[in-house]
């Protein structure tokens, strides 16, 4: 795709920014009007790209290629990437801005949970949403993509209760046990191996799913640390201090840096969860990545045995109050 000036590429040619609806460390998200497609509203994500002497980095090109490849499958639980473009501006050095164009969806899971106030999600609705989340994640993992930033803000909810995984700003094609930067996943949803700066792969996403699963019952995060070490402490308060043989050998933080704790009953932290849900949650929040359940196996867990019976009634159990018309990602943040 040809480069263009930022003003011409976004405002004047095809997309008219209407409002900023999210901001994060990697860029901003705007609600925009697509002037070449009937004025429909889209989500326009702007990502600043570090450039080298060769122009756009290969890693950025690869990430866009991954998103475009996934789009060919049109998976119902992965947000649709409509288009993309890049903008070049020259000053002392070339600055590249990547624009990703997505469908616009009204709500994310964080807004849905906050809108519930003191009410719990209906059990069938929670089960169906978890099943959809795992279907989207299994699809990503089957294509060797690790999301790396799953959190309620990045899980979109359409007006008919459909779950869509979003915000692939940190997603990568993985090799098994690759060494990647530890600056991934919002702190409260980081797996122990990430906090310990050990090697990791797709199991990091299942840990995040476990944290989100618990939050859907609690309506507040399960582990709320203020640093990597504090976060590990919060985790061990619930799951207990792992055995010495489970502690990774390739980390700087030794096991004896933490006080011994026995594991606590998970229902003490998530009091409304049933027995099958408790078993699934424990399998997601397993310290050892090798022993943690996969998205594929989680979909066959007994917790979901009746999920198909309730598919037809999803519309009658909408998790939050939603307006008809176009969906919009109000409050959506970049990673």
What SS3 class is residue 2?
coil
Please give the span between the terminal C-alpha atoms of the chain, in angstroms, as a whole number.
Answer: 25
Contact indicator for 333, 155 with CB cutoff of 8 Å = no
H or E stretch at 283? helix 275-284
Exposure string (b/e) for 89-104, b if CB count within 10 Å is 16 or more? eeeeeeebbbbbbbbb
User: Is there a binding annotation on residue 45?
Assistant: yes
Crossing angle between the packed helical segments 123-142 and 203-218, to the nearest 10 degrees = 170
Cβ atoms within 10 A of the Cβ of 11, count? 14
- Separation CA 6–CA 3 (nearest Å): 9
Of 15, 118, 102, the closest CA to residue 334 belongs to: 102
Residue with tokens 């959506």: 332
Please list the active-site residues.
149
Measuring CA to CA, which residue among 163, 171, 182 is closest to residue 144? 171
**Can you give the C-alpha Rg of the chain in angstroms?**
21
- Per the annotation, binding residues are 45
- Per the annotation, binding residues for ATP are 45
């Amino acid at each position: 795709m040809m480069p263009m000036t930022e003003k011409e590429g976004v405002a004047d040619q095809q997309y008219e920014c209407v409002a900023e609806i999210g901001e994060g460390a990697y860029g901003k998200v705007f609600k925009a009007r697509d002037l070449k497609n009937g004025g429909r509203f889209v989500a326009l994500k702007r990502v600043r790209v570090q450039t080298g002497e060769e122009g756009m980095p290969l890693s950025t090109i690869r990430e866009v290629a991954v998103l475009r490849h996934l789009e060919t499958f049109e998976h119902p639980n992965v947000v649709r990437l409509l288009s993309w473009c890049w903008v070049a501006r020259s000053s002392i050095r070339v600055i590249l801005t990547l624009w990703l164009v997505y469908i616009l969806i009204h709500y994310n899971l964080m807004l849905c949970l906050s809108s519930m106030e003191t009410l719990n999600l209906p059990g069938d609705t929670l089960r169906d949403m978890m099943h959809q989340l795992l279907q989207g994640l299994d699809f990503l993992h089957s294509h060797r993509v690790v999301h790396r930033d799953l959190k309620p803000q990045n899980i979109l909810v359409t007006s008919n209760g459909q779950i869509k995984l979003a915000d692939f700003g940190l997603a990568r094609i993985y090799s098994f046990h690759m060494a990647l930067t530890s600056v991934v996943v919002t702190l409260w949803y980081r797996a122990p191996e990430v906090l310990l700066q050990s090697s990791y792969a797709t199991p990091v996403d299942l840990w995040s799913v476990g944290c989100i699963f618990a939050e859907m019952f609690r309506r507040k995060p399960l582990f709320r640390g203020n640093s990597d070490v504090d976060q590990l402490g919060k985790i061990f308060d619930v799951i207990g201090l792992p055995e010495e043989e489970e502690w990774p050998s390739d980390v700087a933080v030794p096991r004896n840096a933490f006080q011994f704790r026995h594991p606590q009953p998970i229902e003490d932290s998530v009091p409304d969860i049933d027995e099958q849900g408790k078993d699934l949650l424990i399998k997601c929040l397993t310290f050892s990545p090798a022993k943690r359940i996969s998205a594929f196996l989680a979909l066959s867990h007994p917790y979901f045995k009746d999920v198909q019976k309730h598919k037809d009634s999803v519309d009658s159990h909408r998790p939050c109050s939603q307006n008809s018309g176009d969906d919009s990602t109000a409050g959506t943040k970049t990673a």
